[in-house]
Amino acid sequence: MLPRHTTRSHRSLRRVTALALLGWLAGAQADEPAEQTTSLDRLIEEAASPQSAIDSGRGWSLAIDNDLFAPTQNDRDYTGGLALTVSGPQTSDYWWSLDPVLRSIDTLLLRGADWSDMRMHQAVQTGWLSFTPQDLDAVEVDPSDRPYASLLFVSAARQYVAPDARSVRYSDLTLGFLGLSLTSKLHDAIHDAVGSDTPRGYGHQISSGGEPTVRYAIGGSKLRGQRLAFGSGLIEAKTTWELSAGYLTEASYAVSTRLGAIDSPWWSFSPERADYIARPSPVIRGRGNGLNELYVWAGAKVRLRAYNAFLQGQFRDSDHTFAADQINHVIGEAWIGVTGQFFSGTQMSYAVRYQTAEIRDGSGRRDPVWAGITISHSY
């Protein structure tokens, strides 16, 4: 989290959006040569096979977001986060797991949906997020810039894969605390470690002193295209819709694509499932074809956001918040990244994300750019 300067990136959003749409159009071609279609059908059947090694979904991932990783290096807005995810059926037995509650909510809200023949994967996550204004040295509130905000949380997620492996449904539940002093201390420790200025305004953060918060999300993804490209490489494209209620209340739609040496099933990779930091999803081992994965990926997302507690606050009084008419309710997002496999079952990903401004006017009207590194291991 080093001080830095940046410019707006509307041109970058258009380019990445065009790349994602290009991948979708390229992958959506219906008429494939017979031998090519057979190969793709085989890959999909392997992904859906109950005997496949991917069934257990056991593994872990560690995601670290930080301004320091992004090309623009601005210490502001969504300035950093960390999330540890553990996946597998054993996670529902953890004493702190929200999976039993999530199961009850899904059962209540989705009684009409027949998911009995779908394969389910489970994951839990814990982590924290931090948000800051531009001037970290200022002790007093700048009413034209975003407020300090933080979240310490635990989450549980369920993913249901259709028998034909061409569509998935998912849900997740997050319980956390806004405004805890612990998150500001974590932020201070990181700044001390990298020799950067210590943020001085956390005393004015949203819900300072702590306030519980919650969020429930449900969504679905569909494979739109999967074809051989550049020799033995694959290009895949999918779309994802989502609805959520809680500290972030919104509806969204995303298009994403990946290209390269791919051995893992398409539904196991979900960069669109991120609200600042990546949300929990199962960590899946590849199909065991002896292929070392290395691929690039990109995507774009439109959010229709009704409420954002990190800007608007919650029930507890906060020193600085924005009203609904002071924030943008249509937000665009784009991302580009690369994933490589280093050892059997172990991968590392790097991604840069861009988002249009959340605040309508004032010094807080900026287009945030941040980056993240994710290490995952399946077993």
> In tens digits, what is the pLDDT along the chain, a chain of 379 residues?
444 444 444 444 444 444 444 444 444 443 344 444 445 555 444 444 433 444 568 999 999 998 778 887 777 899 889 999 999 999 999 999 999 999 999 888 877 666 667 889 999 999 999 999 999 889 999 999 999 999 999 999 999 999 889 999 999 999 999 999 988 888 878 777 766 778 889 999 999 999 999 999 999 999 999 999 877 789 999 999 999 999 999 999 999 999 999 988 999 999 999 999 999 999 988 766 556 899 999 999 999 999 999 999 999 999 999 999 999 999 999 999 999 998 888 999 999 999 999 999 999 999 999 999 999 999 8
| pLDDT for 169 | 93
When computed from its CA atoms, the radius of gyration of the chain, rounded to whole angstroms, is 21
Ramachandran sector of residue 195 (left: φ over 0; alpha: ψ -120 to 50; beta: rest) = left
Strands (E), 205-279: 211-229, 233-246, 248-261, 274-275, 277-278
Instruction: Determine whether 171 is exposed, middle or buried from the number of CB atoms within 10 Å of its CB (0-12, 13-18, 19+).
Output: buried
pLDDT value of position 316: 96
* CATH architecture, domain 10-378: Beta Barrel (2.40)
The pLDDT, as a whole number, for residue 18 is 45
Domain ranges of the chain: 10-378
Phi, psi of 163 (to 5 degrees): -55, -35
Residue type, position 243, single letter: L
Q: Cα(110)–Cα(280) distance, rounded to whole angstroms?
A: 20
Backbone angles phi, psi at 197, to 5 degrees: -65, 140
80 vs 187: CA distance, rounded Å? 8
- Asked if 257 and 227 touch (Cβ cutoff 8 Å), the reply is no
